[in-house]
């Protein structure tokens, strides 16, 4: 966060922010920062042919340790059991979230897939039915979408 905050104080940030607002974030209503430990697999998940982004909204008093344990099991077993998965990463959102009109917490997951079809096929498996519901028992709400990221370099 310190690096991001420092960047917002530079002359380049205004130009960068204007570019994002005009060309990138036209449909995005909010941004979040994800706190470490966003695993080392994040770059692989975000550069996969298709990335599933899952936002989970949780009550402010969620049992973080129990949720972390369930997510860890999901990540470990998901990587082993989901055909077509490239990488999985996740982390806690820094900003507070509004969850059903109350203060809440957020958790973001990025799952890289070989294809959209691989993800949709996984949703029909017993492994999916075994792995996803225990994590979602903690969720007050969730949003999922697929993204095909494009890498830009200087």
Span 11-25, pLDDT tens digits: 887 787 777 777 666
Distance CA 76, CA 154 (A): 35
CA distances from 117 to 11, 67, 75, 77, 146 (A): 43, 28, 20, 20, 11
φ, ψ dihedrals at 95, nearest 5°:
-75, 150
43 in the same domain as 77 = yes
Radius of gyration from C-alpha coordinates of the chain: 17
Whether 60 is covered by a domain: the verdict is: yes
Whether 154 is covered by a domain: the verdict is: no
Between β-strands 139-147 and 50-59, what pairing exists: parallel, antiparallel or unpaired? antiparallel
Q: What is the pLDDT of residues 18-57, one digit of tens each?
A: 777 776 666 656 677 787 666 678 889 999 999 999 999 9
36 in the same domain as 63 = yes
Residue 3 burial (CB count, 10 A): 6
Mean pLDDT along residues 83-104: 92
**Whether 55 contacts 106, CB under 8 Å:** yes
**Total-model pTM:** 0.83
Q: What is the pLDDT of residues 132-141, one digit of tens each?
A: 999 999 999 9
27 in the same domain as 95 = no
Q: How many domains does the chain have?
A: 2
Range of the domain at 21: 1-31
In the predicted structure, residue 131 carries a pLDDT above the cut 90? yes
Longest dimension (CA), the chain: 52
Mean pLDDT along residues 112-129: 96
Residue 7 in tokens:
């960047």
Whether 152 is covered by a domain: the verdict is: no
**CATH code of the domain in which 127 resides:** 3.30.70.100
CA distances from 124 to 38, 87, 128, 129 (A): 28, 19, 7, 8
Distance CA 94, CA 86 (A): 26
Q: Is 107 helix (H, G, I), strand (E, B) or coil?
A: strand
Whether 131 is covered by a domain: the verdict is: yes
Residue with tokens 């900003």: 95
């Amino acid at each position: 966060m310190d690096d991001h905050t420092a960047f917002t104080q530079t002359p380049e940030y205004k130009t960068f922010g204007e570019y994002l607002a005009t060309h990138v974030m036209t449909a995005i209503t909010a941004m979040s920062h994800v706190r470490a430990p966003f695993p080392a697999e994040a770059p692989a998940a975000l550069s996969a042919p298709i990335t599933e982004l899952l936002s989970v909204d949780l009550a402010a008093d969620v049992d973080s340790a129990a949720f972390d344990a369930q997510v860890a099991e999901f990540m470990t077993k998901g990587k082993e059991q989901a055909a077509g998965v490239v990488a999985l990463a996740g982390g806690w959102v820094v900003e507070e979230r509004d969850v059903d009109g109350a203060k809440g917490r957020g958790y973001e997951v990025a799952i890289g897939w070989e294809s959209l079809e691989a993800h949709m096929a996984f949703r029909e498996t017993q492994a999916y039915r075994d792995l996803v519901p225990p994590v979602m028992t903690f969720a007050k709400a969730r949003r999922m979408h697929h993204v095909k990221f494009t890498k830009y370099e200087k």
